[in-house]
Structure 1
Amino acid sequence: MEQVRQMFKEEGFFGDHLLLYVNRAVEDFILPLHSHEFIELAYVAEGKGFHYIEEEVQRIHRGQLHVIPIGTSHVFRPTSMDAARDPLIVYNCIFPKSLIDRLMPLLIDEPVAAYIEGLKEETRSYHAVFDADAEIERLFLLLYKEYSLPRSGSTTYLNTLLLQLIVTIYRLHTDTSHAIPSQPARFLQLLSYLEQNYAEKLTLAHLSGRFQWSERHLQRLFKRHTGQGFNYYLQSLRIQKSCEQLRSTQLKISRIAESVGYKDLSSFMVVFRRIVGQTPGAYRQTFNQSFKPQPD
């Protein structure tokens, strides 16, 4: 891997009032290995690839959140030169140490405050977490929308979203680094399994055999930890994945439906309209008026 060629400075990204920068990057092979004077939170939103960080090379995939400390050299790379076939899309949220100083008076929980204060340290170790329940994705989409389309009060709103994001990362980081009750840990593994296999033919019976819980107990766990029954949770996950494709590809709706686990297009249309409140075609047009999808 190439040596560090570039150091990103604070003045290239931040103004006097907004000490925050958010973007959505389609990763390529142009950006060199680099480090920066600020903290970076990078969320892998679509695809897979590689993360070159210091002396390591790590495989990465959708749903990972990477915390990159000040002064750490790194770069993301897709799996191939063909971005259309093998895209790697990463949302970045960057901020300087001075923003942490502004936010510290708002923090009450001492462990969380210590974690956030620690992000200022250049000796802080790099770490990553997995977004099993899509909470980090939700916050990044809100951050990107607010940053791209600022309105009255946007600076305050962005700062509160950043705090929510860091607290969520802290929870995931501590949950995966220390002992936690076995049942919640196992259920998080189950949700991660669904995240990776949502397009397959999944049933409570299948999950029961794989994770050694009775079907009845699994239903109780879904209600307790997600507020939804298994079937509704799976439907919502599949529709969420279809929405991502509708926003970012020109695939036919019938092909998208099949890719997220619906063999019958009419069933997909009914579930999509119930959850989203509009048809897939109307949803796609809402996000890009100039979008020209393939005809169904």
Structure 2
Amino acid sequence: MTIKRSIIETPGDQFFLPELPLYVNRVHESFEMLQHTHDFIEISYVAEGSGAHYIDNTSLPVSKGDLFFIPVGVSHVFRPSSIAQKKNLVVYNCIFTQEWLNQLFHSQLNGSKEEFNVLFTQATEQSTWLSFKERNGEFQPLFERLHFEYNAHRSGFMTILQTCVAQLLVYMYRSKMDFTPEASKASLQDLDSLLAHIRGHCSSPISLTEAAARLTISERQLHRQLKKHTGMSFMEYVQHARIEACCQQLRANNHKISDVAASVGYQDMKFFNQLFKKMTGVTPSQYRQQNK
């Protein structure tokens, strides 16, 4: 039996400013929101928890890492798996007008416009929604940055928002294209997975020998691949990942700087302070002050 749901229309005027046809939020989904359509494009990312996504006439189970591209006119709503507070469903939403996306294609993605037209422009023209699955933690940092920049409204924030959405579209496109069974792409996926592992385990990073063994290649081969694709040596990438993790903590909490350093594996504060300033141009305390 088909269950008929009430569907409402949500206009972008509720969210957009005249000079800013883009909006970003982070919400705890509930059972109160009705299934709805909208006159804007929406990209939704499941950041925490699990539940269901009712989209058009389809119901999909969702969990952390699921992402959806929802064109104008497509109805949808998220539902948590339970009303219990411990089972929250947290979703980031980035919405923008069709005109803003067209401008983004022209300014930021001009070199790849034909490739992206196949996926995103066709989806918007046909009102066809798209789904993606995060594999190496590539989506969440972009949504965190989008949310932070949108709410902070600091100098140049619009440029950063455009860049983040462009990166997001690139990663979404790659996730679709990377299913082709080519050895070169498979090796790049393995390298990307290794880099994600290093970023996610900053407090106890693996050694170059262990990293090479994970990819079943020699240390020299790994060194060459890292230099080619990141511009850094293995140790430089590890230090970069650690300092970036520290920066995220300094922006997010007020923990002692020594505790932040220790959380990513630095016990020698003199070395940590020197390295941090070398990479960021400021001391940890100055960085925290600038990013309050």
TM-score band, normalised by the shorter chain? 0.7 to 0.9
State the Cα distance separating 1:245 from its structure 2 match.
Answer: 1.2
1:49 aligned onto 2:53? no
* Kept after mapping to 2: 8 A contact 1:43/1:65: yes
Superposed CA deviations along residues 160-179 of structure 1, whole A, max 9, x for unmatched, are 53662354234422343333
State the Cα distance separating 1:283 from its structure 2 match.
Answer: 1.3
Distance 1:233 1:271 in 2: 13
The equivalent residue for 2:265 is 261
Superposed CA deviations along residues 223-249 of structure 1, whole A, max 9, x for unmatched, are 011000011111111111111111112
Q: Report how many residues are paired.
A: 275
State the Cα distance separating 1:215 from its structure 2 match.
Answer: 1.0
Q: Structure 1: where are the runs of 5+ without partners?
A: 289-296
Cα 1:147–1:245, aligned 2, differ >3 Å: closer, same or farther?
closer
The equivalent residue for 1:294 is none
The equivalent residue for 2:94 is 93
Cα 1:100–1:129, aligned 2, differ >3 Å: closer, same or farther?
same
Cα 1:159–1:280, aligned 2, differ >3 Å: closer, same or farther?
closer
Distance 1:248 1:78 in 2: 28
Identity %: 25
Which stretch of structure 1 is more off in the superposition, 242-251 or 216-225?
242-251
Superposed CA deviations along residues 244-267 of structure 1, whole A, max 9, x for unmatched, are 111112222232222223344444
The equivalent residue for 2:128 is 123
Distance 2:202 2:130 in 1: 33
The equivalent residue for 1:172 is 174
Distance 2:53 2:241 in 1: 31
Q: Structure 2: where are the runs of 5+ without partners?
A: none
1:197 aligned onto 2:198? no
The equivalent residue for 2:239 is 235
Cα 1:59–1:11, aligned 2, differ >3 Å: closer, same or farther?
same
The equivalent residue for 1:73 is 76
Over the aligned positions, Cα root-mean-square deviation in angstroms equals 3.8
1:211 aligned onto 2:215? yes
* Kept after mapping to 2: 8 A contact 1:39/1:69: yes
Distance 2:251 2:31 in 1: 25
The equivalent residue for 2:275 is 271
* Kept after mapping to 2: 8 A contact 1:129/1:169: no
SS at match of 1:262: coil
Equivalent position amino acid for 1:285 in 2: Q
TM-score (structure 2 length as normaliser): 0.74
TM-score (structure 1 length as normaliser): 0.73
The equivalent residue for 1:112 is 116
State the Cα distance separating 1:4 from its structure 2 match.
Answer: 7.1
Distance 1:211 1:67 in 2: 32
* Kept after mapping to 2: 8 A contact 1:29/1:77: yes
* Kept after mapping to 2: 8 A contact 1:51/1:74: no
Equivalent position amino acid for 1:99 in 2: W
Superposed CA deviations along residues 130-159 of structure 1, whole A, max 9, x for unmatched, are 46568x84687378537753769x87x478
Equivalent position amino acid for 2:62 in 1: Q
Superposed CA deviations along residues 167-226 of structure 1, whole A, max 9, x for unmatched, are 423442234333342322221222222233232241111112222111111111110110
Distance 1:225 1:146 in 2: 30
* Kept after mapping to 2: 8 A contact 1:65/1:128: yes
* Kept after mapping to 2: 8 A contact 1:50/1:57: yes
1:12 aligned onto 2:17? no
State the Cα distance separating 1:18 from its structure 2 match.
Answer: 3.5
